Structure 1
Amino acid sequence: MTDIGTHAAPTRRIRKVLVANRGEVAVRVVRTARELGIASVAVYSDQDINSQACDLADEALALGSAVPAQTYLNSEAILDAAARSGADAVHPGYGFLSENADFAQAVTDAGLVWLGPKAEAIRSLGDKISARAIATSVDVPVVPGGQLHGDPEGARTQLLSFAAQAGYPVLVKRADAGGGRGITRFDSDEDVTRFIQDLPGPEALAGCFVEKMVRGARHVETQCARDAHGNFQVVTTRDCSVQRRNQKVVEEAPAPHLPESVDADLRQYSRRLFEAVDYVGVGTCEFLVPSGGSAYFLEVNPRLQVEHTVSEEVAGIDLVREQIRIAEGRTLTPLGRPRGHSFEVRITSENPADDLMPATGAISAITWPGGPGVRVDSFVRPGDVIGSDFDSLIAKLIVTAPTRREALARLLRAIDEFEVEGLPTSSPLLTHILTHPDFCGPDSPWAHASDEDVEAAPSSSPVWPRGDHPFAVHTKWMEERGLLDQVKQTLADAAGTHVPPTTPSGGVPVGLAPTESFVIELGGQRMTLKVPEGMFGRSPAALPAGAAVPVRRQTLRGRGRARGNEGAAAGTPSLHAPIQATVVRVVAEVGAQVRAGDLVVVLESMKMEKPIHAHADGTVSAIHVQAGATVKAGDLMVTITPGEGENAKEDQA
């Protein structure tokens, strides 16, 4: 860490900040602004008018639409709101426009303070090809690879040659993609040939590069800060190796069981990267750390990260406050000694019993956890609706304790206390991850338990040691171990009896309705009874105006459902959208023969892809959607005429 010395006087005072975001991060920024005596302005789309961010901010201005592209992604509307409110600074949060260099420049050109690095730094680091070149220029190791040839035949030759040298698997990435998107994996020459043949045109290769896939590597990052006076510091390291489809699931600080030499390298590499682009602000450097090997640079995120909270807890500083201090021209806050260990898990409205598919609807009740070292960053309240236009986050649960073992025990307790009624959550999967011996290593809460204590421990909590590595998690660990399938089976076993699906008028299969809880006394013992909502004739809890009564599927493994019947309509092989989503691609063509189980359409909702398979043999007679289109639950996507010998009528819905 640089010796920061005396704090510099501010060169500019920030008096009112507009938060160009929504949800949990908007609440987060508003709270810090209030503590600093800075007025805050929230902006909102139509569905966010009653949000907690709007309630807490000093002002709230409408963006005039319900569509993300016309609201939180609309730079002109946000700048207009800043001008109307008299704000003198803009905080972008994360997501939306937070890494948009043009927006950062527009904010600066409007005479406002941008609470982030300069547009030039965002632009040079935002493109992954450019970022690789910068890293190489300052001796920061990058994963073997390079920019892909723009000609399809040249790209095919390049990929085959690179794979022959580096070995499969290899990856092709888009330079402008983020969040785990824009990545294609190849495991054979046949995969490469098929990829090139299926290209819609040469333009699809623009801005792509190839990399060797590093297997068994941890995802370790450094939370960094640098001020305008040249002072730099790594606030903490973090480990974010528990991922699903390249989306982070569990984060912790500091990165556990990291060799001192690797820790030192990461800190030095991070300094070089920040200084190479004259980065001024708070940001994160991400690395792949193979077992027993040197670290490889992945990317720099020029903004606040979702998981910044664990660094705050361990370092004892407020990173939003630090962003404001840096923007005002002050020096960095000196760091004290690290304070224990911290975890963050994201509680989402994703259903582990249904492949973590996003669930939408109203939250009828919430029980928040508490106690020492427990922090909840959220934005929802009972009655709020989780829709499909934005991500499925309900809350970030952050716990801190003196040691990793104590923090794990505290986190498990907090998850057990955390209850959400009206929607399924990811909690069962999180508990399964946190008690896995690969993840716990020697830090298991039952690591030093006696035989009697072990017998008393939860049956789902394996006791260390059951492996030979103190932290055996890597970026593909969760998927390779099949943890989600294990949780699905557990939930199916717990459900016990078969629940036959019902079909509403829209033709979309649904399953279990939301539940409500009652406290009862049975034989002098207090118990909690959960029953389907409205079972006793009581009307469901009042919902916000215009909100539909939430009805959700709770499809459990083992119910005898045939593969691919997701999206099926009653009595017909035609396919309807099971959820509100965006069409990623349409695989089938009109006139094509399909068999049960064939992939027909791929949907995406809240960053999660959902394949839709044919559930019966037939012929595709009409396609009603195209890539990029938005569908609502129940919309007819593909009309399939039953195969020969079937007399079912073609669906005309």
Structure 2
Amino acid sequence: MVKNVNKLLVANRGEIALRVIRTAHEMGIPTVAIYAEQDRDAQYVQMADEAYLLHGDSYRSYMDEDLIIDVLRRSGADAVHPGYGYLSEIASFADKVIKAGATWIGPSPTALTDLGDKITARRVAKRAHVPPVPGLSEPVKDMRELLTFAQINGYPVMMKRTDGGGGKGITLVHNDDELRSFYMNHDALEGGDLDEYFVELFIDKARHVETQSGRDSHGNFTVYSTRDCSVQRRNQKLIEEAPAPFLTDGEREQLERYSRGLFNAVDYVGLGTCEFMVTPQHKVYFLEVNPRLQVEHTVSEQVCGLDLVREQINIANGGELTEAPQSHGHAFELRITSEDPDKNLTPSGGTLTRLDWPSGPGIRVDSGVKVGDVVSPKFDSMMGKLVVTAQDRPTAVARVRRALKEFRLEGVPSPKPLFETIFNDPEFTADGQPFTVTTKWLERKYLNRKPKSAGTGQPASLSGSEEQPKKQETDSFVIEVDNKRVKLTVPRDIVDNLMGSARARGSKRRTQPLRGSSSGAVEQKVKANDGKSGIIDSPMQAIVTRVNVAEGQAVAKGDLLVVLESMKMENYVYAPVNGTVRKIFVGPSDSVDAGTTLMKLDVDGAEQREKSGAVAGAAGGPASADAAKPAQDQAKEGDR
């Protein structure tokens, strides 16, 4: 049944929300945005026809299903586009949208359920006669299963969370000892999460290739393009290109046949991405289906010539998809993230003090930030995407080099220096070298090194010397009436008289800081977890997702203590020494700054030495003052 979208709620933020809003406006569809407090002045919010506040200042604001459904009803929107990430793959949210009488722009809740869990997705693949990466399609139950699998298939193996994605929830294990350690770490406490993991063989020399696919309610299927996403770190993509280079005709045929089978198996309606590993032996293994639009959809758009958001809306309306035309040209996407290449691409935050995007032939920029915006580790690290297209791969490489010379970004770190190195590396740029650049190439060649000294790539401070805009006759304010964003324009003399402003009194107007920069650049102070003090500090601004130990528990060097999430990437804090957990200061969902104390360990023998020092001090020995001081200091640390 053909329907019409009359008003579209975009249940996301940043550059993807802006991307969807632009296409909706081209189609004549009014849009509704949602925003957390920190996004109040974001570009996508300003461009939407209406915008509603979600209380809170972290990514969790965008995960509140019921609150967003309430906005859907209040705004009168009759369709929801989830973008990517957040609620885009959550079957319960899709179901609520449909039950509210609105159009869900994505696959059905049933398809999301079948494909959203990596174990059920493996089962779908086998039903569709698509070979997955060798592994066990059941949750982990006991140690013997894992050891038997590893002995038969060999190391390394990957422990993968069933609900993981975007590089999260993947642990590479190299031997029996590491496998046992993983098992104990994830089964250490009652309520451990071992049953949320399964095991796969790690395929070392392989390329990550995917198909941007579409299927409509009439059963039509197409592959808009292939993509190569092998340049990645921690299983998260950094550079993508389309079409995937170096594929044989047989590999391309397999990729399309497997993708069609996967979509047909779950009666998939909408756009999605089928991800595979391609080996030097021309084997194609299924990884997963991402049942949504992806970050890298831009390169597929560039080589197929279609607007994929428009395709999504048309398919959701009940229309037929556009058969993908023959691919033309070559495109690269560079993810511009607030990550420091001098610190192994560790996420960071700060205030953007300069942002000059390149332009000219073949340049596309998808970004949702501007100068003055604060980039917070509470959200995704991606500030934008630089997409470069040319008639062939060598020309596109040359165009990327030119674009990077024009690109200027200050205030937060970015991967620009690393991109410049990669696009001048013959291993990456040379034609006819299909398995030089594989999924671990970037980490092995350029990352996993000792970070440079503190201060490298730190946010630049604000100058405070920007010229003020010319005076206007009116002042405009963004206010919220019953949580709905409204722009209010008032004659300036009324504002001056009501507010008793300095201007009304004839004083010179004071220079204001850039928006969102209440205290200038973000400063991060990180303490070293060297184990000497027993104090375990957070290495970055992040959110605590899991505490893996309990007070009083003995830990060995290398045991997992805390899992942090910063900008959608998991970071692990391990015990630097043997000891006993004395005090835990944080819990799941807590926000922490760089240098925040997470927990205090009693390093083996330290507590006894403290007690001995205290006894000596009480006895009035010559070392009493010096011996007592560390105990007092450590007691203060324990109260933090």
* TM-score bracket for this pair, using the shorter chain length: 0.7 to 0.9
The answer to whether structure 1 residue 433 and structure 2 residue 422 are counterparts is yes
User: Helix, strand or coil: the match of 2:152?
Assistant: helix
CA contact (8 A) 2:364 2:387 kept: yes
Would you say 1:474 and 2:465 are equivalent positions? no
1:175 maps onto 2:162 in alignment:
yes
| Partner of residue 239, structure 2 | 250
* 8 A contact 2:205–2:435 mirrored in 1: no
Give TM-score scaled by structure 1 length. Answer: 0.79
| CA spacing shift, 1:596–1:125, aligned 2, 3 Å | closer
Q: Structure 1 residues 124 and 591, CA, compared in 2 at 3 Å: closer, same or farther?
A: closer
Counterparts in 2 of 1:469-508, with a 5 A limit? Answer: 469-483=433-447, 485=449
SS of the residue corresponding to residue 31 of structure 1 reads helix
RMSD of equivalent CA atoms = 3.3
- Aligned counterpart, 1:606: 567
Match of 2:14 among 9, 17, 23: 23
Q: Match for 2:38 among 36, 40, 47?
A: 47
Query: Per the alignment, do residues 382 and 148 of structure 1 end up closer, same or farther by CA in structure 2, a change over 3 Å counting?
Result: same
5+ residue gaps, structure 2, are 465-509, 614-626
Q: Is the 8 A contact 2:36 2:55 kept in 1?
A: yes
User: 1:15/1:601 Cα in 2 relative to 1: closer, same or farther (>3 Å)?
Assistant: closer
Q: Deviations over 1:502-539 (max 9, x none)?
A: xxxxxxxx995615799xxxxxxxxxxxxxxxxxxxx9
* Residue of structure 2 equivalent to 1:72: 62
What is aligned with 1:542? 513
Deviation at 1:425, TM superposition (A): 1.0
Pairing 1:579–2:540 present: yes
Question: Is 1:632 the equivalent of 2:593?
Answer: yes
| Mapped partners of 2:421, 2:200: distance in 1 | 32
- 2:136 partner SS: strand
Which residue does the alignment assign to 1:413? Answer: 402
The AA in structure 2 aligned to 1:479 is E
Q: Does 2:101 match 1:111?
A: yes
Match of 1:223 among 208, 212, 219: 212
Q: For 1:113 and 1:600, how far apart are their aligned partners in 2?
A: 43
Question: By how many angstroms is 1:109 displaced?
Answer: 1.0
Which one of the candidate residues 181, 184, 192 is aligned to 2:171? 184
The range that moved more, 591-600 or 623-632, is: 591-600
Whether the aligned pair in 2 keeps the contact of 1:322 and 1:332 (CA below 8 Å) is yes
Residue in structure 2 matched with residue 370 of structure 1 by the alignment: 359
Q: For 1:130 and 1:433, how far apart are their aligned partners in 2?
A: 37
CA contact (8 A) 1:357 1:608 kept: no
**What is the Cα deviation at residue 636 of structure 1?**
3.2
The corresponding residue for 2:270 is 281
Decide whether the 8 Å contact of 2:270 with 2:312 is kept in 1.
yes
Q: Which amino acid aligns with 1:22?
A: R
Q: SS at 2:255's partner residue?
A: helix
Give percent identity, aligned residues only: 47
CA deviations 1:269-319 (Å, max 9, x no partner) are: 111111111111111100011112310011111100000000000000000
Distance 2:42 2:457 in 1: 30
Indicate conservation of the 8 Å contact 1:351/1:358, yes or no. Answer: yes
1:8-407 paired onto structure 2 within 5 Å: 11-69=2-60, 71-148=61-138, 151=141, 155-198=142-185, 199=187, 200-201=189-190, 204-407=193-396
Q: Structure 1 pair 586/100, CA: closer, same or farther in 2 (3 Å)?
A: closer
CA contact (8 A) 2:215 2:263 kept: yes
Opposite residue 182 of structure 1, the aligned amino acid is: G
Tell me, yes or no, if the aligned pair for 2:216 and 2:319 is still in contact at 8 Å: yes
Task: State the alpha-carbon separation in 1 of the partners of residues 539 and 159 from structure 2.
Answer: 31
Task: Write the distance in 1 (CA, Å) between the matches of 2:190 and 2:596.
Answer: 30
Q: Partner residue of 1:454? A: none
For 1:623, the aligned partner's letter is I
Q: How many aligned residue pairs are there?
A: 568
Secondary structure of residue in 1 paired with 2:164 = coil
Q: What residue identity is the alignment partner of 1:392?
A: S
Distance (whole Å) between structure 2 residues aligned to residue 307 and residue 435 of structure 1: 22
1:58 is displaced (CA, Å) by: 0.7
Question: Which string of whole-angstrom CA distances, capped at 9 and with x for unpartnered residues, describes residues 191-229 of structure 1?
Answer: 333333341358633243222221211110000011111
Assess, with a 3 A threshold, how the Cα gap between structure 1 residues 513 and 364 changes in structure 2: closer, same or farther.
closer
8 A Cα contact 1:257 1:471, kept in partner: no
| 1:368-405 deviation line (CA, Å, top 9, x unaligned) | 10010000000101111111211111110000000101
| Distance (Å, rounded) in 2 between the aligned partners of 1:144 and 1:513 | 44
Partner Cα distance (1:55, 1:585) in 2: 36
Unaligned runs of 5+ in 1: 1-9, 444-468, 493-497, 502-509, 519-538, 556-563
Q: 1:442 deviation in Å?
A: 2.7
Do the aligned residues in 1 keep the contact of 2:231 with 2:439 (CA within 8 Å)?
A: yes
Displacement of 1:247 in angstroms is: 0.6
Instruction: Tell me the residue number matched to 2:493.
Output: none
What's the offset of the Cα at 1:619?
8.2
- The letter of the residue matching 1:434 is F
Shift of residue 182 of structure 1?
2.2
Aligned mates of 1:177, 1:421 — CA distance in 2: 33
* 3-state SS of 2:77 partner: coil
* C-alpha distance in structure 1 between counterparts of 2:300 and 2:457, whole Å: 41
Shift of 1:330: 1.5
**In the alignment, what sits opposite 1:442?**
431
Preserved CA contact (<8 Å) 1:53 1:379 = yes
SS of the counterpart of 2:213? strand
Q: Distance in 2 between matches of 1:400 and 1:244?
A: 24
State the SS of the aligned residue for 1:72. helix
Match of 2:496 in 1: none
CA displacement at 1:74 relative to structure 2: 0.9
Structure 1 293/56 Cα, relative in aligned 2: closer, same or farther at 3 Å? same
Residue type of the partner of 1:303? R
TM-score (norm 2): 0.81
SS of alignment partner, residue 326 of structure 1: helix
Return the alpha-carbon distance in structure 2 between the equivalents of residues 371 and 404 of structure 1: 18
- Deviation track 1:230-273 (CA, whole Å, cap 9, x = no partner) reads 11110000000111111111100000111111011101111111
Q: Distance in 1 between matches of 2:516 and 2:22?
A: 28
C-alpha separation in 2, matches of 1:405 and 1:255 = 14
Q: Distance in 1 between matches of 2:108 and 2:282?
A: 34
CA-to-aligned-CA distance 1:398-423 (integer Å, 9 cap, x gap): 00000101101111221221111211
Q: Measure, in 2, the Cα distance between the counterparts of 1:167 and 1:278.
A: 36
Greater Cα shift, 602-611 or 586-595: 586-595
Name the CA shift for 1:44/1:167 in 2 (closer, same or farther; >3 Å): same
Residue of structure 2 equivalent to 1:458 = none
**One-letter identity of the residue aligned with 1:212:** L
Q: Which amino acid aligns with 2:97?
A: V
Residue 566 of structure 1: aligned partner: 528
Please give the alpha-carbon distance, in whole angstroms, between the structure 1 residues aligned to 2:574 and 2:179.
Answer: 25
